[in-house]
Each structure stands twice: as structure tokens, then as C-alpha cells.
Amino acid sequence: IDRVVKLIRGAKGTDVVLTVIPADAPSEATMQEVRITRDEVVIEAASAKLEVREIGDRKVAVLDVPSFYQDVRRVGREYEVVRSTAADVEKLLAELGPNGADAVLVDLRTNGGGALSQAIELTGLFIDKGPVVQVQSQRGPGRTREVLNDEVRGVAWSGPVAVLTSAYSASASEIFAVVLQDYGRGLIIGGEATHGKGTVQELVGLSPMIARFGGDASRDAGAFKYTTSQFYRITGKSTQRVGVVPDVVVPSPFDGLDGREGDLDNALPYDEIAPARFTPAASSAADLPDLRARSAKRVASSNAFQMMAELRETRDKLDGAPTSLDLNERKQEQSVWDTLEEKAEAAGLDGEQDVVLDEAIQVIVDWSKQSSGGK
């Protein structure tokens, strides 16, 4: 597929001719040519989006951030950013306005990370200057530590903010979520913990190295990725292996699945460094025990969350169990899953209703009522 992509890519405005076999062709001998003009492709599905949800007299702006992206374009010898997560979110918040919602919920459940600079800039939309993350590198015989800051004064949103996370929230997502938690600026809601990736990697092309030793530099030899640094919270703690633990835990379909950083064979251990100097935000603290109790009560009475727990129990029971080659036993096992899928669909876990997001919004509504004296 990489070779095909390279052939299709080219200068904007130029044509490329594709020889294709239609899906309904009677045989592979039936081919046709398709001429397309190359142009810039903007994938909107990967961009930040905002939707306002109304619950009673409260409005919650749900900000979906699928990744920390930063698209650059070469202009002469320089590169300029043409689109980025922080810029898109800042625009969305400006359109929302200070009175457009009672709170903002940043949804990072499927955000696996991206550009570290964008995590820092996005944090800057909610805090007024200060350290965001610490990076420690192994360079030569010693270690170097660097504190990366938000240098821009002012915020784009000064109201209540919460972050929704899952085990698939990783790297830059964890940096953004945990710095709001450490500043006391935001409420973290989500599954048991985030992914737990506290390392930084670099990608190095192998072709220049091959050329250095007399090899063919024109051959695409691929690349290798290696770990160069670790990042730490401004408190000096790490997210490595442990992830970010939410203030209010809402059960997630991703809880208990393998694939988190700590599940890897050679994951680096957790450690800590000295904290950075920072001033906590002057925002009203949430009554966490009350929020947790209210959420737990709703979850316990929800058919959807009960079904989610049953699915996890069945998954854990079958995970690692020997796979039978007996046809009747396999049919019986499949029958169990078919029944569970039917029950899950009846309980509202068919993908049309996002019960985790709905519960997170309810938590924010409770938080908003706390701030207004229960009104």
C-alpha cells in the first residue's frame, strides 16, 4: 500500500491515471482507467469538533479531540503551520463564547497522542501561563531536564472544564489531562486509568546510515524508532505504566483490555523527578466524594452499565482459556456471545447511544450544581 500511495501522490493540480478493476467486474481482465486531479485532502473526521448538549437548564459543550495534529506546509526554506489542534479548538471556543455553555468537556477517549507542542498549546487555552510538562533526556553521560511551558497569557475558556479519558488516551492526551488535574483546573472523568505512556520516541531513517557505510542511498531502507526521553508531570510524578487516574471513574468498555503500556514486555519502570514550580488555579474545588457517590448510584441502576460489566466478566473468563477444536463446544461458546450481543443491544450498547459520554455529562451537571449551591 505504501508503494501505491507514493505513486498517487504528486504536485497539486497534476493528473494521475489509475488502472482499476471495478468491484462488479466479471473477471480481473476487465479494467478501466480513471483520471483524477491531485489536490489537497482535508480529513475532517480527524479534526476537533464541538457539540452543545442540554441537560435541563444546563449546557455542556462536548469538545471531541481525536488527536493532537499539526499540519505544516513548506514555504521556501521555512515551514508554517496551516492547521493544528490548538488553533481549531481556540476557534471553536471563540464561536461558543463565554455564555454558550456552563462547562466544557474535552473528549480524549480515542486520542492516542500526537504532537507534544499541541498538547502544550491546548493546555494554554485553559491555564494562564506556567509549566505544562517536564522532559528528561539521556544525552551523553548525564541526564538533562527541561520544563516546557505555556508562554501565552490569557485563556480561551475560563469556565469549568472536564476531560473524558479511557485506556486508549495516551501520550500527549495524558499530558493534557494530568496537567489540568495537577493545577486543579479541570475534572478528569473516565475509565480506570489512561494508557500509561510516559516516553518520547524519535524516528530515524536508515538510508543515510547505509550511505555512510558505502551502501545505496537511493534505496528506501525504512526507519527505526527508539526512545530518547521520558516526560513527567509538573508534580514530578510520571504517567509511565500508571497512566492518569480519573477523579470520577465511569466504567468503560476498554477497561481491563490488554495493550496498555504496562502490558508490554520491555516497558520502562515508573519513577519520579523533582517537581516544577507552579501556582494552582484559583478555581472552586469539586466535592469529589459527592460526585462519585451520585455517579455510582446512576451506574448501578443502569441496564447499559450492568450489561457492560457482564460483558467484561465473560471476556475475562474466556480470555486465555484454551480454544476447543470440538465443533459443539465452539458453537456453544459462540451462542453465549450471540446472546450477550443481543442483550447488549437491548440495553443500549449498540453504538447509537454513548452511555459513557452521557454519564460524564451528568457528572458535570452535578458539578455545576455544586458550584451554584445546588441550584
Give me the active site residues, please.
171, 182, 197
Give the CB-side neighbour count of residue 183, counting CA atoms within 13 A. 26
The residues near 370 (Cβ < 8 Å, ≥ 6 apart) are: 286, 287, 290, 291
Burial (Cβ within 10 Å: 0-12, 13-18, ≥19) of residue 140:
exposed
Q: Determine which helix (DSSP H) or strand (DSSP E) holds 330, and give its type and residue range.
A: helix 327-346
- CA–CA gap between residue 68 and residue 23 (Å, rounded): 36
Rounded Cα distance between 132 and 179, Å, is 6
Helix (H) or strand (E) holding 232: strand 223-232
Q: Kind and range of the H or E element at 108?
A: none
Say if residues 324 and 330 touch (Cβ distance below 8 Å): yes
Nearest to 112 by CA among 175, 61, 162, 163: 175
DSSP per-residue letters across 113-140: -B-HHHHHHHHHTTSSSEEEEEEEEEET
d(CA 11, CA 9): 7
Residues sharing a CB contact under 8 Å with residue 49, sequence separation 6 or more, in sequence order: 63, 64, 92
Report the distance separating Cα 75 and Cα 90, nearest Å. Answer: 24
- Do residues 206 and 139 touch, judged by C-beta distance below 8 A? no
Query: CA 63, CA 103: separation in Å to the nearest integer?
Result: 11
